[in-house]
Amino acid sequence: MNNLLLTPIEYLKGVGPSRGELLRKELGIHKYKDLINFYPNRYIDRTRYYKINELQNNVAEVQIIGKIINVKTVEFGKGRKRLVATFVDDTGQMELVWFQGHKWVRESLKINEVSVIFGKCTSFNGIYNMSHPEIELLSEHEQSLRSAMQPVYPSTETLTNRGISNRTINKIMQQLFLETHTLFTETLPDYLITELKLISKKDALINIHFPKSTEALAKAKFRLVFEELFFIQLQLITKNLVQKHKIKGHPFTKVGENFNDFYQNHLPFQLTGAQKRVIKEIRTDMGTNAQMNRLLQGDVGSGKTIVAFMSMLLALDNGFQACLMAPTEILANQHFIGLSELANELNINIKILTGSSKTAARRIIHEELENGTLQILIGTHALLEDKVKFQNLGLAVIDEQHRFGVEQRSKLWKKNEIPPHVLVMTATPIPRTLAMSLYGDLDISVIDELPPGRKPIQTVHRFDSNRLKVWKFIRDEIALGRQIYIVYPLIQESAKMDFKDLMDGHESISRDFPLPQYSISILHGKMKPADKDAEMKRFSEGKTNIMVATTVIEVGVNVPNASVMIIESAERFGLSQLHQLRGRVGRGADQSYCILMTSHKLSSDSKTRMETMVSTNDGFEIAEVDLKLRGPGNLMGTQQSGVLNLQIADIVRDREILALARNHASKILKEDAPLQKPEHASLRAVYIELTKKKNIWNYIS
């Protein structure tokens, strides 16, 4: 890297200490190199000059050549002033207006000299005016390092108020290019540049900031997007390789009695081809000396639990313990019930540990864990407590991993000298693009077929005005012996939102479905765990017909007899949440239904979400639409929302470039993992530079 680029930003001519401080605070620009990599977010065509008599109200920004002939201060309102200049060309006159910075503006204005003004026009009482225009003398305008495409940089209110306009950023960018003499080091190997017909790093940087033409701009963007995604993939794939070489795992060489007995005699149903394939991938992984780090993706109801259970049996057969960590007590309890049923005939010691486990039960669990007689432990965050010590943990299964922070997961690793194999499960389908970026260092398995005999859930969208028909449909389903979920987005009515909240809903449903003919359960996040379990139990035993709930039931609740899911104010939910909720029905052999209730007022995004839900049951398709609507940040849950701190790439828009970048990174690392070959010297230098930054990639999984 050109060492000049490491110069602190305040030393750049035109910046100085106070502007430097603002750039650091507002935009994270500390050094010259940060400014070089601060890319425009759009461009304006500056090839055309308008005449005053061609102006229209509120057109996009325009530029005009003319002269300022006088300047005056005008008072308006209580003690407020504005500065007004009269600007003329050979077709007419207009006004330039400033509401702030009068003294500084007045001193800088050149009267009766040919200038170029640039900004947005509005008309008031038949006279056009432009507020806070950019102004420069025509002579300077013709000489400056500018292009037909004028870059517009991201900004903040503070910067605008402190006089750091887009033009200021443009000027300091020009200064930067003059001072650094565009000595930018090439970062990619020559053969890659030739093969992909990329322009040089130097040309790319010049044309992203000062594009000579739209074609040059497109080439610059492609080169910089490719490079950004390529280095991310290089880091992720290297991390995966290092994990496989450095982090030793327990080799599970034996497929023993537990696994074989279960597979041959106790499988509750035929495994699908996808389940068999995934179990094989896991067996291969755990059979080596490296620690397994695998992400298991499977849509709601695709049978991930049985895959996890059979992986645990492999650990037991090789003399190790296994654990499963779930994000909520409801989910942990369900896993416990489900796994206990699967292990029923196998004589395996399984226990559950959650926040509400009693002291006496905890004591037994701690003892049995340490002496090795407890083979499988299921639980919530309680598994992470220091008191929980395993004799030899061989496999840790983590369910819905995006709900656990990184520190929590690393605590689990430290329960052993040799870290356990790790299987991360998620029912939130992650689009391939996002999986490549976020989990690029995990091996990924996908269960992409549903167990035989499952009927696809029928989804319909109904407006509140159709409620009577929907209620009739519920009565018919209950008469057939089925059960119903009704889900609400909120618990207490917040002043700003007039959505029917849970309590209101519960009341009106109780009126429409009165006792003794119908009985209703209620479930929400503010209830005590014991009360939640009791309500859940009444519903799953069929003692109540309707479960009125908030999204607590989104993950993992399994009642095969529940065949209808009604989602109230469905426009309030994101796509992946709607899909997760829908997955709570359709678990038995009966036809199941999901009814999305909304008001008539829907934004275009809400309409798209409803249409997507009605048209497909495929979680991956839904996730792709969600990614387009919401962007990558919001898709991964809050603690990872800032994750992909990308400067120019966009993993939705640039997904083809991402696949290309991953391909090339993978090929290079296959042939030269340590990047020692002479032609990879530039890659190695950038890679070392990147790993110094403790940025997101070191923390992801």
611 or 411: whose pLDDT is higher? 611
**For residue 138, pLDDT beyond 60:** yes
Report residue 252 as tokens.
Answer: 């599970």
Buried residues in 487-500 as b, exposed as e (16+ CB within 10 A): bbbbeeeeeeeebb
pLDDT the model gives residue 44? 81
Closest residue by Cα to residue 322 from 369, 260, 278: 369
- Provide the pLDDT for residue 696: 39
Cβ neighbours of 229 (radius 10 Å): 28
- The domain 257-286+303-426: what is its CATH number? 3.40.50.300
Distance between start and end Cα atoms, the chain: 30
Hey, is 666 helix, strand or coil?
helix
Q: What CA–CA distance (Å, rounded) separates 571 from 568?
A: 8
Q: Which residue intervals of 182-213 are DSSP H helices?
A: 190-195, 201-209
| pLDDT bucket at 545, cuts 50 / 70 / 90 | very high
Q: Which of 192-196, 212-216, 386-390, 553-557 has the lowest mean pLDDT?
A: 553-557
3-state secondary structure 409-472: HHHHHCCCCCCCEEEEEECCCCCHHHHHHHCCCCEEEEECCCCCCCCCCEEEEEEHHHHHHHHH
Q: Is the pLDDT of residue 181 over 80?
A: no
Can you tell me whether residue 150 is helix, strand or coil?
strand
Confidence of residue 698 (pLDDT cuts 50, 70, 90): very low
Name the band, by pLDDT with cuts 50, 70 and 90, for residue 553. Answer: low
For 165, half-sphere exposure in the C-beta direction (CA atoms, 13 angstrom radius) is 9
Pairing of strands 483-487, 520-523: unpaired
Q: Which burial class, exposed, middle or buried, applies to 358 when counting CB atoms under 10 A from its CB (0-12, 13-18, 19+)? A: exposed
Integer Cα distance of 329 and 214 in angstroms: 56
Region 413-428: mean pLDDT is: 82
Residue 83: per-residue pLDDT? 93
Whether 257-286+303-426 and 458-616 share one fold: the answer is yes
pLDDT tens by residue, 151-160: 989 988 888 8
Rounded average pLDDT over 303-329:
94
Fold topology of 47-145: OB fold (Dihydrolipoamide Acetyltransferase, E2P) (2.40.50)
Q: Are 377 and 369 in contact (CB under 8 A)?
A: yes
CATH number for the segment(s) 458-616: 3.40.50.300
Task: Give 54's contacts (C-beta < 8 A, 6+ positions apart).
Answer: 91
- Strands, sheet with 115-119, edge to edge from the N-terminal-most edge strand: 121-124, 127-131, 92-98, 80-89, 62-76, 115-119, 134-137
Query: Could you tell me if 491 and 525 are in contact, meaning their C-beta atoms sit under 8 angstroms apart?
Result: yes
Our CA dihedral for 4, 7, 12, 16, rounded to 10 degrees, sits at -170
CA distance 322 to 393: 6
CB 247 within 8 A of CB 422: no
pLDDT of residue 499: 42
Q: Which residue has the higher pLDDT, 282 or 446?
A: 282
Q: Do the beta carbons of residue 419 and residue 289 sit within 8 Å?
A: no
Tokens 């313990």, residue located:
321
* Percentage helix, strand, coil for the chain under 3-state DSSP, each rounded to 5: 45, 20, 35
Q: Does residue 58 register a pLDDT over 70?
A: no
Residue type, 507: E
For residue 678, whether the previous peptide bond is cis, meaning omega lies within 30 degrees of 0, is: no
206, 176 in Cβ contact below 8 A?
no
pLDDT for 193 beyond 90: yes
Q: Is the pLDDT of residue 243 over 80?
A: no
Average pLDDT over residues 210-215: 87
Residue for token pair 């898709």: 635
| Tokens at 533, concatenated | 């379990």
pTM beyond 0.85, yes or no: no
**Total Cβ atoms within 10 A of residue 65:** 15
The CB-side HSE value for 481 (13 A sphere, CA atoms) comes to 5
Spell out the domain ranges in the chain: 47-145, 257-286+303-426, 458-616
Nearest CA to 132 out of 154, 101, 107, 110 is that of: 101
- Report the candidate in 43, 23, 42 with the shortest Cα–Cα distance to residue 34: 23
Is residue 601 classed as helix, strand or coil in its secondary structure? coil
Name the band, by pLDDT with cuts 50, 70 and 90, for residue 655: confident
Per-residue pLDDT, 557: 65
**CA distance linking residue 447 with residue 277, whole number of Å:** 8
DSSP 207-240: HHHS-SSHHHHHHHHHHHHHHHHHHHHHHHHHHH
- As a whole number, the mean pLDDT across the chain is 86
Q: How many CB atoms lie within 10 A of CB 469?
A: 10
How does pLDDT run across 424-461, given as a tens digit for each residue?
Answer: 898 777 777 677 666 777 788 888 887 777 788 999 99
Q: How far apart are CA 356 and CA 304, in angstroms?
A: 26
Which single residue is written with the structure tokens 């492609």?
222
Q: Tell me how far apart the alpha carbons of residues 500 and 486 are, in angstroms, rounded to a whole number.
A: 12
Nearest to 189 by CA among 180, 181, 201: 201
Q: What band does 47 get if pLDDT is binned at 50, 70 and 90? A: confident
Instruction: In whole angstroms, give the CA distance from residue 506 to residue 548.
Output: 7
Inform me whether the pLDDT recorded for 691 exceeds 60.
yes
Instruction: Tell me the CA distances in angstroms from 325 to 99, 303, 371, 424, one per residue in order.
Output: 59, 17, 21, 10
CB 584 within 8 A of CB 331: no
Alpha-carbon distance 23 to 458, whole Å?
54
Which pLDDT belongs to residue 552?
Answer: 64
Confidence at residue 647, expressed as pLDDT on a 0 to 100 scale: 85
d(CA 375, CA 316): 7
β-strands 421-426, 92-98: how paired? unpaired
Range scoring the smallest mean pLDDT among 18-32, 204-218, 568-582, 617-631: 617-631
Pairwise pLDDT comparison (440 vs 299), residue with the higher score: 299
Which region among 11-15, 75-79, 273-277 has the lowest average model confidence (pLDDT)? 75-79
